[in-house]
Structure 1
Amino acid sequence: MKRNGETKRRRNVAEDAGQGGGGEDPAMWENLDRNFRQVQSVLDRNRSLIQQVNDNHQSRMADNMSKNVALIQELNGNITKVVSMYSDLNTNFSSAFHGGKNGHEGGSSGTRAN
C-alpha cells in the first residue's frame, strides 16, 4: 500500500515539473521516471532475494543453504547494478538540468527518444 502512494507522489512530481515547474524538457522527466522504475525493479528483486535467503537459512536444510550462495551472488550483482544506475541517473539529471538552463548547451545525450 505504501509503495503505491510513493509511486503516485513520484509520478505527480514528474508531472508537475513537466508543467512549468522547471521541467522545460518533458522527455528528460520521462527518461528519469523510466530510470527510477528500473532501479525500483532491481530493488524489488533484491527484497525477494533477501526473503528467499532468509527462508533458506531458517530451514537449515543443506540443499537450501547451498542455494543461498547463488542468491547472495545475484544480490551482490544487483547492488552493484543499483549503484551504477544511480550514478547514471545523477549524471543524466545533472547534464539535462544544466543543459536545459543553458539552452541545451553540451547536449543531454540519452534524454530524448526521437
Structure 2
Amino acid sequence: MEDKVMQTFHKSFGQVQSLLDQNRKLIDEINQNQASRIPGRLNRNIRRVVDVYVELSLSFTGSMEAPAEAEAASQGKPGHKRVRA
C-alpha cells in the first residue's frame, strides 16, 4: 500500500510541475499580448487558463475518487460514483 501511495504522490507531483510550467508559459504569452493590446489574443489566453484549471480539477477529483472507490470495494461496500456534466 505504501508503494501505491508513493506512486500516486510522484504522479501527482509530475502533474503539478506540468501545470506550473503551463502557467509560466501562459503568463509570458499574456504579458506579450497585453503589450500588443490585441483583445482577441487576451481572450484566447483567458480561455486557455480556464481550460487548464478545469482539466486540473477533473484530474484531481478523479484521483481522489479512485482510492475511495478501491477502499470501499476492499471493504465489500458498493462503489460510489458521481455523474459529471
Is the shorter-chain TM-score for this pair beyond 0.5, marking a shared fold?
yes
What TM-score comes out, normalization by structure 2 length? Answer: 0.62
Displacement over 4 Å in runs of 4+:
none
What TM-score comes out, normalization by structure 1 length? Answer: 0.50
Q: Which has the higher contact order (CA 8 A, sep 6+)?
A: 1
Q: Secondary structure at the match of 1:46?
A: helix
Q: Which residue of 1 aligns with 2:79?
A: none
Structure 1 residues 32 and 56, CA gap change in structure 2 (3 angstroms): same
Which of these residues, 40, 43, 65, is aligned with residue 91 of structure 1? 65
State the distance in 1 between where 2:20 and 2:55 align: 10
Q: How far off is 1:72 after superposition?
A: 1.4
Residues 1:46 and 2:20 are matched in the alignment: no
State the distance in 1 between where 2:51 and 2:9 align: 22
Q: How far off is 1:79 after superposition?
A: 0.8
State the distance in 2 between where 1:95 and 1:25 align: 17
Q: Which residue of 2 aligns with 1:35?
A: 12
State the distance in 2 between where 1:75 and 1:87 align: 18
Q: How far off is 1:89 after superposition?
A: 1.9
Which of these residues, 51, 54, 69, is aligned with residue 77 of structure 1? 51
**Seq. identity, %:** 21
Structure 1 residues 56 and 88, CA gap change in structure 2 (3 angstroms): same
State the distance in 2 between where 1:93 and 1:32 align: 13
CA contact (8 A) 1:49 1:71 kept: yes
Q: How far off is 1:74 after superposition?
A: 1.0
Which ranges of structure 2 fall in alignment gaps of 5 or more residues?
Answer: 77-85
